[in-house]
Structure 1
Amino acid sequence: MYASEIRPTAGTSRLFRPAEVAEMLGVSTVTLAKHRAQGTGPAHLVLGPRTIRYREADLEAFLEAGRRSPAHQAA
């Protein structure tokens, strides 16, 4: 099965390409790749030797995990 054959269905998340995720996070694709290699970025799927995708739900979880309430901000 190729990435082009994978389509979200009811109850599944949309899949994003690294370039889309990098733009959402305000980082370069190189920085995003470094985060993948270090295990510090959002969870990702490896669909082939050169095919990486990110689930919408995983991106939301990653962003929520990094969210801080105003009480946690430095004064």
Structure 2
Amino acid sequence: MVIIIIYVVIGMYICICNGITDTQIKHTITENKARTAEDVYCALEACFDCGACEDCVREIIEQEMAKNLDLVAAE
């Protein structure tokens, strides 16, 4: 039960090097209008270290953009 509660509040870690969660990435996409992995990292004041998360970040961006077509229309 505790694990579920922690996941809902914090999210799943996507970038271990910078401690970035999927929740932070999604927030950055909707609030900061991040459209690329580079936009996400810049908004979170982070940088690519090992690069292992880059594909996952891009996938989250694509999923969020597909769910929120109004984000695309607003551009």
Higher fraction of helix: 2
Higher fraction of strand: 1
Larger radius of gyration: 1
Taking structure 2 as the reference length, what is the TM-score of the superposition?
0.26
